[in-house]
Structure 1
Amino acid sequence: MANAQAPLPHPPLEGSARVWGTIALSAATFMNVLDTSIANVSLPAIAGDLGVSPNQGTWVITSFAVANAIAVPLTGWLSQRVGQVRLFVASVVLFVIASWLCGLAPNMTALIAFRALQGFVAGPMIPLSQTLLLASYPRAQAGLAMAMWSMTTLVAPVMGPLLGGWITDNIAWSWIFYINIPVGIAAAFASFAIYRKRESPTRQLPIDKVGLAVLVLWIGCLQVMLDLGKEYDWFSSPLIVGLAVAAAIGFAFFLAWELTEEHPVVDLRLFARRNFWGGTIAISVAYGLFFGNVVILPLWLQQFMGYTATEAGMVMAPVGLMALVLSPFVGKTLGKVDPRKYATFAFVVFALVLWMRSRFNTQADFATILVPTVIQGIAMAFFFIPLTTITLSGLTPDRIPAASGLSNFVRITAGAMGTSIFTTLWESRAALHHAQLAESVSNGSAAAQMTLSGLVASGLTQEQALAQVNQMVNQQAFMLAANDVFYMSAALFLLLIPLVWLTHPQKAGAGAGEAAAGAH
Structure 2
Amino acid sequence: MLTSVLLAVTQGFGMNMVTANLPQIQGSLGATTNEAAWLVAAYMAPNVSLGLLLVKVRAQFGLRNFAEISIVVFAVVALLNFQVSDFSSALLVRFVSGVAAAPLSTLALLYMLEAFPPERKLTVGMSLALTNTAIGAPLARLISPELLDLNGRHGLTAFELGLALVAFCGVYLLPLTSAPRVKVLEPMDFVSYAFIALGLGSFAVVLALGRFYWWFEAPWLGMLSALGIFCVMVCVVIELNRANPLLDIRWLLSPAVLHFAGVLLLFRVVLTEQATGAPGFFQALGFLNDQMTVLYGIILLATITGGLVCAAVLQPGREPQIHIVALGLIAVGAFLDGHATNLTRPEQMFASQAMIAFGAALFLPPAMAAGFRAALAKGTNYLLSFVITFLTTQLLGSLLGSAIFGTFVTVREKFHSNILAEHLTLSDPLVAQRISQLGAAYSRALTDRTLLNAEGVALLGQQVTREANVLAYNDLFLLVSALSATALCLLLLQMAWRALRDRIGSHFSDQPA
Amino acid at match of 1:330: C
> Which residue does 2:477 correspond to in 1?
486
Matches within 5 A, 1:314-329: 314-329=294-309
The structure showing larger relative contact order (alpha-carbon pairs under 8 Å, at least 6 residues apart) is 1
Preserved contact between residue 88 and residue 129 of structure 1 (Cα < 8 Å): no
Matches within 5 A, 1:339-358: 339-358=319-338
Give the counterpart of 2:258 among 266, 269, 277. 277
Preserved contact between residue 34 and residue 213 of structure 2 (Cα < 8 Å): no
> Which residue does 2:246 correspond to in 1?
265
1:422 Cα deviation after fit: 2.2
Preserved contact between residue 56 and residue 184 of structure 2 (Cα < 8 Å): no
Q: Percent identity, aligned pairs only? A: 17
> Which residue does 1:226 correspond to in 2?
207
Structure-1 separation of matches of 2:199 and 2:250 = 19
Preserved contact between residue 134 and residue 361 of structure 2 (Cα < 8 Å): no
When residues 432 and 462 of structure 1 are mapped into structure 2, their CA distance, relative to the original with a 3 A threshold, is same
* CA distances 1:441-474 after superposition (whole Å, capped 9, x unpaired): 3212222211111123343422322221121112
When residues 332 and 300 of structure 1 are mapped into structure 2, their CA distance, relative to the original with a 3 A threshold, is closer
Asked if 1:47 is matched to 2:26, the reply is yes
Between 439-448 and 469-478, the greater mean CA deviation after superposition: 439-448
Give the counterpart of 1:474 among 465, 473, 487. 465
Amino acid at match of 2:101: A
Amino acid at match of 1:462: N
Preserved contact between residue 69 and residue 410 of structure 1 (Cα < 8 Å): no
Structure-2 separation of matches of 1:373 and 1:231 = 27
Give the counterpart of 2:391 among 408, 414, 420. 408
Asked if 1:205 is matched to 2:167, the reply is no
Preserved contact between residue 358 and residue 484 of structure 1 (Cα < 8 Å): yes
Preserved contact between residue 81 and residue 157 of structure 2 (Cα < 8 Å): yes
* CA distances 1:211-241 after superposition (whole Å, capped 9, x unpaired): 2122122222223333443454433543233
When residues 140 and 394 of structure 1 are mapped into structure 2, their CA distance, relative to the original with a 3 A threshold, is closer
Structure-1 separation of matches of 2:119 and 2:208 = 47
Matches within 5 A, 1:431-510: 431-460=414-443, 461-497=452-488, 500=491
Structure-2 separation of matches of 1:493 and 1:471 = 33
Runs of 4+ in 1 over 6 A off after TM superposition: none
Preserved contact between residue 316 and residue 370 of structure 2 (Cα < 8 Å): no
| CA radius of gyration, larger in | 2
Give the counterpart of 2:370 among 385, 390, 398. 390
Amino acid at match of 2:465: N
* Partner SS state of residue 234, structure 1: coil
Amino acid at match of 1:278: H
1:360 Cα deviation after fit: 0.8
* CA distances 1:123-181 after superposition (whole Å, capped 9, x unpaired): 22222343355445554664665566456445444422101233234531332232121
Structure-1 separation of matches of 2:138 and 2:157 = 17
Q: Which has the higher helix share?
A: 2
- Using the size of structure 2 for normalisation, the TM-score is 0.84
> Which residue does 2:448 correspond to in 1?
none
Q: CA RMSD in A?
A: 3.0
> Which residue does 1:511 correspond to in 2?
none
Preserved contact between residue 68 and residue 172 of structure 2 (Cα < 8 Å): yes
1:324 Cα deviation after fit: 1.8
When residues 122 and 230 of structure 1 are mapped into structure 2, their CA distance, relative to the original with a 3 A threshold, is closer
> Which runs of 5 or more structure 2 residues have no equivalent in the other structure?
444-451, 499-513
Structure-2 separation of matches of 1:366 and 1:391 = 37
Structure-2 separation of matches of 1:265 and 1:135 = 26
Structure-2 separation of matches of 1:196 and 1:375 = 35
Between 383-392 and 152-161, the greater mean CA deviation after superposition: 152-161
